[in-house]
Amino acid sequence: MKRLEECIVKYGKALNKDVLKVDAFLNHQIDPDLMMELGKDFVEHFKDTPITKVVTIETSGIAPSVMLGYLLHVPVVFMKKSKSKIVDDNVYTANIHSFTKGIDYEITCSKDYLAKDDQVLFIDDFMANGEACIGGIKIIEQSGASVAGIGIVIEKAFQPGRKKVEALGYPVYSQARIASLDKDMITFVEE
């Protein structure tokens, strides 16, 4: 998606060969106009796919997911990264490793918000090693719902995430694919 790539070049910061900082428009400060464009692009890509829910993992996937849910007129569910005192044990869980933070954590989703008849579009802000996406898929599968599609805002195509997810039988649609990063250098996959 051209506008997303332009924002990545203009506002993103390649800190090294593995880390891309996009907090100027996605991870800390949010550009709502861009988020709506991301939502519209996902709608166009998945237009022939029946979707009853949009699901993401907190926090950075929420903004594009809400815009997408608004456009599709379906609820948005986000999986939580930390346990809350008001959440009981009526949850689906999966353990994942965060490449960016270098930690393992448990994601949860209330059983009240995913059902076996749901057709779920899973959205994530980044795909690197695919751990968050695979954890999200595990929770969706635990609920008996179907994964209708996988949408990624920014994919680090030089890391194995896409291959891992596609090996599970799920095609991946990424709005921007990064071929390589280096200090202050961002190269996109040419498609």
What's the CA gap between 144 and 141, in Å, rounded? 5
Whole-number Å distance between alpha carbons of 7 and 176: 11
Is 131 flagged in the annotation as binding?
Answer: yes
Q: Residue 130 annotated as binding?
A: yes
Q: Is 16 annotated as a binding residue?
A: no
Judge whether 128 is annotated as a binding position. Answer: yes
Q: Is 169 left (phi over 0), alpha (psi -120 to 50) or beta?
A: left
Q: Are 11 and 24 in contact (CB under 8 A)?
A: yes
d(CA 76, CA 125): 15
At what angle are helices 32-45 and 2-11 packed, to 10 degrees? 150
Residue 14 assigned as binding residue: no
Position of tokens 């090294």? 16
Of the candidates 159, 128, 124, which has an alpha carbon nearest to the alpha carbon of residue 54? Answer: 124
Annotation-wise, does 132 bind a ligand? yes
Binding residue per annotation — 129? yes
Residue numbering of the annotated binding site for 5-phospho-alpha-D-ribose 1-diphosphate = 128-132
Residue numbering of the annotated binding site for xanthine = 20, 27, 156
Residue numbering of the annotated binding site = 20, 27, 128-132, 156
